[in-house]
A and B are shown apart, each in its own frame.
Chain A
Amino acid sequence: MLKIENVGFSYPSGFRLEEIDLEVTTGSFLALIGPNGCGKSTLVKLMSRLLPPSTGKVLLEGRELASYSTRELARRMAVIPSENHFEFPFPVSEIVAMGRYPFLGRLERVSTSDKQLVRRALRLTGTEQFAQRPISELSSGERQRVLMARAVAQQPQLLILDEPNAHLDIKHQISIFRLLQKLNQEQGVTIVVVLHDLSMTAAFCQRVAVMAEGRLILEGEPREVITASMIRRVYGAEVAVERTSDGVPLLSYRPDGGS
């Protein structure tokens, strides 16, 4: 689906991403983890073409990302950024309908099948009960689900999310991840998600890629990757990693700092 080949990028401030190689296979559910400032969001921007790589290339279905038109790209890839501000009181259903934009011709109106897809997206994300309310009146958890609905309406093959859990309580975090899991398993949507919560990563994601200081240092299944020694080395934090009965890593913290 998405292949990152020897990608590098440098900011004017001097921070650099170097020699990133990563393949996101079709149908996978990959978490991107790493400490603050390690370059996760930059990598997401490179994957979604908000930034052009200074070296190497990013390929989507074998074609270089730069060769897609903005519209072509939006038909294949949906991105949910970490920060959202809604300055204007658009009704939720209008915002979700914007997910159909890449499929519409100039001045073409939204068709019946588009409307059906919008309704389906509202239903899947549980946002139909506030479909007619202005987004500016909703809570942050509800807004996050509206953005998920917009992405679902976009019918992407690849969905990229940058910290969808920020500002959400545990119930909403779980509901977002259940939905991602459903999209992944039932509709075959490939998912890449930037995460801080390692237990959540272990519970929901099939693969995990670890970044540190602008490099990708590890990639594999959560049960291989998420270990106390990795966390000590990458994050500089002391935690104990236990296992659930079926072997899924589970973080446990000690108030005294020991482990």
Chain B
Amino acid sequence: MSRAGGKLLVLALLMLASATLCLFVGPVSDPDWQIITRLRLPRVLLAILVGFGLAGAGAVLQGVLRNPLADPFILGTSSAAAAGVMIASLLGLRHFSALYSMALIFALFSIFLVFRIARTAGKTPVQTLILAGVILSLFFNAVVFVFFSLFFKEEYATLFFLLGTLTQGEPVRIAVSGAIILVGLAVTIALSRELNLLTQGEEAAQHLGLDVETAKKILFAAASAMVAASVAVAGMIGFVGLIVPHMMRMTLGADHRVLIPASALGGAVFLILADALGRSLVPPLEIPVGALTAVLGSPYFIFLLRRRQQAGEF
């Protein structure tokens, strides 16, 4: 087996180990079979899938935008997908296909917008990209909160959804989101060589024989679909798509043929552990996993930003 294959296998085993372990972690210290299979198993499964989706999408966005600070949460993609979900339920579109379609349309729209706003002279500089992302997230968050305060009665569940949680995974939604995320991931893994070319710059990629516009469209669509499917089932869980691909790139290198599967597996491990932490820190209360990842992720983001400034890359 190749070295990269070995490393991915280690990550996969790590994921299985943490998944198994976390089935036995929670406010009930001596859980019976019911708690494990009905409550914790779906959560761990959801953590794996959403971890795949968010970290995989993060790796793709960082590659296409040639920017290691890109993340679905920071770019406003997650907020947009959440706004889509809220608007769908407000319009009475309770069927999950409507909900997912709205999440996807909003996610795609926001990536298109952020790309258009941030792009100057064929490049997407870090500052403008982040600014555009922050402004778009503020906007979509505001949309969500307006609808929330005006129309929603089930405040607690909705609030948890906005903060990001793995507790609301009905089996149908886990299945639908899982299918979308796995297909999205398969597409991006199949295009990882193209993604490698794109990181060399769009013009360079074109000179090397890549149909840049088509590749970008497919990759953006796949990333949006993964984010939308994750948000539709688990709300806005931030920074997974930033921290995990970045750490994987530092340890395993920039080659997307390894980086994307590694980020997916790493994202699963990260979310399983974060969720287990959230439900065992202050039993019997729970901290939503999205609040935890934001508390962990924001300092990490600032650390990355500072390091780039010191390296003179601004």
Contact = CB atoms under 8 A, between A and B. Distances in A.
B157 to A, nearest CB: 41
Interface string B39-74: 000000000000000000000000100111000000
Nearest to B190: A107
Contact of B208 (A84, A94, A98): A98
B208 A89 contact: no
How many interface residues does chain A have, given as a range?
Answer: 20 to 34
Contacts of B200: 86, 95, 98
A154 B208 contact: yes
A123 B99 CA distance: 56
Q: Is the interface of A mostly helix, strand, loop or mixed?
A: mixed
Given A89-B249, A94-B196, A70 B203 contact: no
Given A94-B196, A98-B197, A84 B254 contact: no
A74 B212 CA distance: 13
B286 interface: no
A152 to B, nearest CB: 13
A121 interface: no
B207 A87 contact: no
Given A98-B196, A107-B190, A88 B207 contact: no
Contacts of A101: 193, 197, 208-210
B169 interface: no
Contact of A87 (B66, B203, B204): B66
B206 interface: yes
Interface in A126-159: 134, 150, 154
B170 interface: no
B211 interface: yes
B201 interface: yes
A102 interface: yes
B208 A81 contact: no
A50 B202 CA distance: 10
Interface string B174-198: 0000000000000000100100110
Contact of B254 (A81, A90, A98, A154): A90
A89 B67 CA distance: 12
B206 A90 contact: no
A70 B215 CA distance: 12
A50 B68 CA distance: 26
Nearest to B256: A88
Contacts of B68: 87-88
B207 A48 contact: yes
Nearest to B212: A70
A52 interface: no
Contacts of B212: 70
A90 B201 contact: no
Nearest to A160: B207
B122 to A, nearest CB: 10
Contacts of A91: 253
A91 B201 CA distance: 16
B308 to A, nearest CB: 10
A88 B211 contact: no
Interface string A73-90: 111011101001111111
Given A91-B253, A94-B255, A78 B207 contact: yes
A167 interface: no
B197 A85 contact: no
A70 B199 contact: no
Nearest to A147: B204
A154 B201 CA distance: 17
A86 B249 CA distance: 14
A107 B204 CA distance: 20
Contacts of B201: 81, 84-85
A79 B193 contact: no
Contact of A70 (B210, B254, B255): B210
A71 interface: yes
Nearest to B196: A98
A71 B207 contact: no
Nearest to A88: B254
Contacts of B203: 50, 79, 81
Given A94-B255, A107-B190, A87 B208 contact: no
A99 interface: yes
B210 to A, nearest CB: 7
> 10 shortest A-B CB distances, which residue pairs?
A74-B209, A102-B209, A88-B254, A79-B207, A71-B209, A90-B254, A87-B66, A70-B211, A101-B208, A88-B199
Given A70-B212, A98-B197, 6 more contacts: A79-B204, A87-B199, A88-B66, A88-B68, A101-B209, A134-B254
Interface of B: 63, 66-68, 190, 193, 196-197, 199-201, 203-204, 206-212, 249, 253-255
29 contacts: A48-B207, A50-B206, A70-B206, A70-B211, A70-B212, A71-B209, A74-B207, A74-B209, A75-B209, A78-B207, A79-B203, A79-B204, A81-B204, A85-B201, A87-B199, A88-B199, A89-B249, A89-B253, A90-B253, A91-B253, A94-B196, A94-B255, A98-B200, A101-B197, A101-B208, A102-B208, A134-B254, A150-B208, A154-B208
